[in-house]
């Protein structure tokens, strides 16, 4: 596998915490400590376009292309519904008591998780909260969805992973003491029978969801494992860490294939916070205020 850094994207004035696919093909969005929500084009990544500016650090980001809307969660618990067609309809709803750490769209709903330990379901059309569930006395740090199981997996700072029915919010099971002390990222394998998790303990774990037991664990990084993504073809898994590296793994065997670091590849010089793997390449963002676009050849 050959890895090349195609481009470094600059422009943010603070750490970048959030990435998501954009509102148009080849586009992605970024946000971070400066409160800016910026759109970038894979085919012309030199300059980003400012879509919105909010008054607080942005921790999570979600694009709703069918509504030309961006949802952003801030450090104070606010959920911004940014309507790009009708800016006068843009609203900041002070919903969670602490930071909004993750957002996920499932059909006509958006789910949010916050530092107050609450999971909330929102209506996409109205941008209104429909129901909430207090899951933990600690922060809820991450959220992912399995369409095969219609199931939400939520990682918390109490070290647990909560598996819930996406329709009823019924707790199906709790994977206790999954990471010490916090679960920072989750990713279902296609089919929904297995789940990857990463945490503040720098461990990568794979869970059997039929028996609710761990299959294996790997000391993946030196510091917090911040994020997990699959390649578009599902063959590879990428992990991002506070140790400033990105690691590429075989998604089936979980064999480590490559380590993207500062010295060998010109990688980030501070914590790598989020990843977004698009058809054109892997995008990473960092506390160093930059994003990098990585090209892979096998």
What residue segments make up the domains of the chain, in order of their start?
A: 2-297
Q: What is the pLDDT of residues 224-246, one digit of tens each?
A: 999 999 999 999 999 999 999 99
Give yes or no for a contact between 216 and 207, defined as CB atoms under 8 angstroms apart.
no
Mean pLDDT, rounded, of the chain: 97
Confidence class of residue 11 from pLDDT cuts 50, 70 and 90? very high
Give pLDDT, residue 175.
Answer: 98
The whole-number average pLDDT for the span 18-32 is 97
CATH architecture of 2-297: 7 Propeller (2.130)
Q: What is the pLDDT of residues 179-206, one digit of tens each?
A: 999 999 999 999 999 999 999 999 999 9
Give pLDDT, residue 298.
Answer: 82
Neighbours of 139 (CB within 10 A): 21
Non-local CB neighbours of 281 within 8 Å, separated by 6+ positions: 6, 42, 293, 294, 295, 296
Q: How far apart are CA 56 and CA 244, in angstroms?
A: 25
- pTM flag (> 0.95): yes
Give pLDDT, residue 265.
Answer: 97
**Is the CA virtual torsion 83, 84, 85, 89 positive or negative?**
positive
Q: What is the pLDDT of residues 79-122, one digit of tens each?
A: 999 999 999 989 999 999 999 999 999 999 999 999 999 999 99
């Amino acid at each position: 596998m050959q890895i090349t850094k195609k481009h470094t994207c600059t422009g943010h004035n603070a750490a970048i915490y959030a990435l998501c696919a954009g509102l148009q093909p080849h586009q992605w969005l970024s946000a971070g400590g400066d409160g800016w929500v910026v759109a970038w084009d894979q085919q012309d990544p030199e300059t980003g376009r400012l879509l919105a500016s909010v008054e607080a650090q942005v921790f999570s980001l979600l694009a709703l292309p069918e509504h030309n809307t961006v949802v952003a969660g801030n450090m104070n618990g606010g959920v911004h519904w940014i309507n790009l067609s009708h800016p006068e309809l843009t609203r900041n709803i002070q919903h969670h008591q602490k930071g909004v750490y993750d957002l996920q769209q499932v059909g006509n709903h958006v789910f949010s998780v916050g530092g107050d330990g609450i999971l909330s379901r929102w209506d996409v059309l109205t941008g209104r909260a429909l129901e909430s569930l207090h899951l933990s006395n600690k922060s809820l740090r991450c959220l992912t969805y399995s369409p095969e199981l219609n199931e939400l997996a939520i990682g918390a700072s109490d070290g647990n992973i909560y598996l819930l029915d996406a329709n009823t919010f019924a707790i199906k099971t709790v994977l206790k003491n999954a990471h010490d002390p916090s679960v920072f990222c989750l990713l279902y394998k296609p089919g929904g029978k297995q789940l990857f998790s990463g945490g503040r303990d720098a461990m990568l774990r794979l869970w059997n969801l039929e028996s609710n037991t761990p299959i294996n664990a790997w000391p993946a990084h030196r510091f917090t494992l911040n994020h997990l993504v699959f390649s578009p073809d599902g063959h590879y898994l990428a992990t991002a860490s506070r140790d400033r590296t990105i690691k590429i793994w075989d998604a089936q065997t979980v064999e480590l294939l490559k380590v993207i670091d500062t010295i060998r590849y010109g990688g980030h010089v501070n914590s790598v916070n989020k990843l977004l793997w698009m058809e054109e390449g892997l995008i990473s963002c960092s506390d160093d205020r930059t994003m990098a676009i990585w090209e892979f050849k096998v």
